[in-house]
Amino acid sequence: MAQRVVKQERAERTRAALIRAAAEVFGELGFQGASVVKIADRAGVTLGAMYFHFRNKDDLAREIVSAQPELVVPPQPSQGLQRVVDVTLTWAYQLRDDPMLRAGARLVWEQDQFLPPEENSHQQWTRIIVDELRTAKSRRELRAGTDADALARVLVNSCTGAQMHSAIETGHRDLPQRIEEIWRCLLPGIATPSATKRIELGEARVKV
């Protein structure tokens, strides 16, 4: 019994090490540039152990992309529109140093190679944001006529484009500023004047 627990713990450690290694390798080389050999090497495990946990690099890439939203947890409690702001800002600041988020950001450009269209990262984030925007709507933070679904798509599209261009130009250093300017352009048009005034941007929102 005790031996089974030890074995299981070891398997879980190996699995976690493989995901961490895959994140690093995908982040550096992209999906096409990565290989199971490079990932197993980086994790310090045999190819056999690697194939015990994952069928191929597609499996690892899907695991990393689908884990993205749960990695982004704003440190301060918030609801509605401020929550959506906090999620995007936390993502932007965290992306600069977190290998899992950096891998996710890089894999997004190549996701058609390992994800079916209906499971893409855009759908995943849109669902989360639209829920929070519905809360914002019930709290009367959105202007009459603001379409929560359309706004969620616009937010995910603009954050994705900002991420891509920020990667090329500054290796993501200027991503938080780009996300803040998206909000400054959007807020007056989509939020009520009192909500617009109340919403906080800036690094203080995401400091632990």
Residues within the interface to a copy of itself (CB under 8 A): 32, 108-112, 117-118, 120, 122-123, 143, 146-147, 150-151, 153-154, 156-162, 164-165, 167-169, 178, 181-182, 184-190
Closer residue to a copy of itself, CB minimum distance, 50 or 87:
87
Closer residue to a copy of itself, CB minimum distance, 39 or 182:
182
Closer residue to a copy of itself, CB minimum distance, 14 or 111:
111
Beta strands in 91-177 (DSSP E): none
Is residue 89 classed exposed, middle or buried when 0-12, 13-18 and 19+ CB atoms within 10 A define those classes? buried
CA atoms within 13 A on the CB side of 51: 4
Given a contact cutoff of 8 angstroms between Cβ atoms, the answer to whether 66 and 114 are in contact is: no
Specify which residues 90 forms β-bridges with.
none
Q: Name every residue whose Cβ is closer than 8 Å to that of residue 20 and which is 6 or more positions away in sequence.
A: 43, 99, 100
Closer residue to a copy of itself, CB minimum distance, 49 or 154:
154
CB of 189 to a copy of itself, least distance (A): 3
CB of 173 to a copy of itself, least distance (A): 12
CB of 5 to a copy of itself, least distance (A): 42
CB of 67 to a copy of itself, least distance (A): 19
Which token pair is 72?
A: 């982004």
Closest of 95, 101, 75, 89 to residue 181, by C-alpha: 89
Closer residue to a copy of itself, CB minimum distance, 3 or 32:
32
CB of 151 to a copy of itself, least distance (A): 6
CA distance 103 to 108: 9
CB of 119 to a copy of itself, least distance (A): 10
Closer residue to a copy of itself, CB minimum distance, 31 or 54:
31
Phi, psi of 191 (to 5 degrees): -105, 155
